[in-house]
Amino acid sequence: MVFSDLLFIYLFLPLCLLCYYITPNSTVRNGVLIIFSLLFYSFGEPVWVLLLVVSSAVDYLNGLFIERHRGKKSAVLGVIVSLVFNLGVLVLFKYSGFIVTNINALTGLSIDVPKFSPPVGVSFYTFQTISYTVDVYRGKAPVQHSFFKFLLYVSMFFQLVAGPIVRYTDISEQLGKRPITAEDLSAGFSRFAFGLGKKVIIANCVGEAADLFLGFDKLPSSVLSAWSGIILFTLQIYFDFSGYSDMAIGLGRMFGFNLTENFNYPYISRSATEFWRRWHISMGSFFRDYVYIPMGGNRRHQAVNLAVVWLLTGLWHGASWNFIIWGAYFGILVTAEKFFYGKALEKLPKFFSHLYLLIAVMFGWAIFYFEDLHALGSCLTGMFGGGNIPLIDDITVSRLEGICFVIIAAVILSCPVFPAVTNKLRAASDKSKGTAIAVTVVCDVLVIAVFLVSSLLLVKQTTYNPFLYFRF
Rounded Cα–Cα distance for residues 267 and 275 (Å) = 7
* From 145, 317, 354, 374, active-site residue: 317
Rounded Cα–Cα distance for residues 16 and 44 (Å) = 18
Rounded Cα–Cα distance for residues 154 and 287 (Å) = 19
SS3 of 267-298 = HHCCCHHHHHHHCCHHHHHHHHHHHHHHHCCC
Contact 78, 63 (CB under 8 A): yes
Rounded Cα–Cα distance for residues 19 and 27 (Å) = 13
Say how many Å lie between the first and final Cα of the chain, rounded.
Answer: 14
Contact 16, 32 (CB under 8 A): yes
Rounded Cα–Cα distance for residues 276 and 137 (Å) = 28
Instruction: Measure the CA angle with vertex 369, ends 365 and 370; round to 5°.
Output: 125
317 catalytic? Reply is yes
Rounded Cα–Cα distance for residues 415 and 354 (Å) = 12
- Contacts of 79-82 with CB under 8 Å at 24 or more apart are 79/133, 79/134, 79/137, 82/58, 82/129, 82/130, 82/133, 82/134
Rounded Cα–Cα distance for residues 199 and 472 (Å) = 17
In this structure, how many other beta carbons lie within 10 angstroms of the beta carbon of residue 398? Answer: 9
Contact 415, 267 (CB under 8 A): yes
Contact 196, 249 (CB under 8 A): no
Query: CB under 8 Å to 27, separation ≥6 — which residues?
Result: none
Rounded Cα–Cα distance for residues 167 and 153 (Å) = 9
Of 195, 190, 150, 147, nearest to 171 by C-alpha is 150
Containing 33, the helix (H) or strand (E) segment is helix 26-42
DSSP codes of every residue in 302-358:
HHHHHHHHHHHHHHHH-SSHHHHHHHHHHHHHHHHIIIIIHHHHHHS-HHHHHHHHH
Containing 241, the helix (H) or strand (E) segment is helix 223-254
Task: Indicate which residues carry an active-site annotation.
Answer: 317
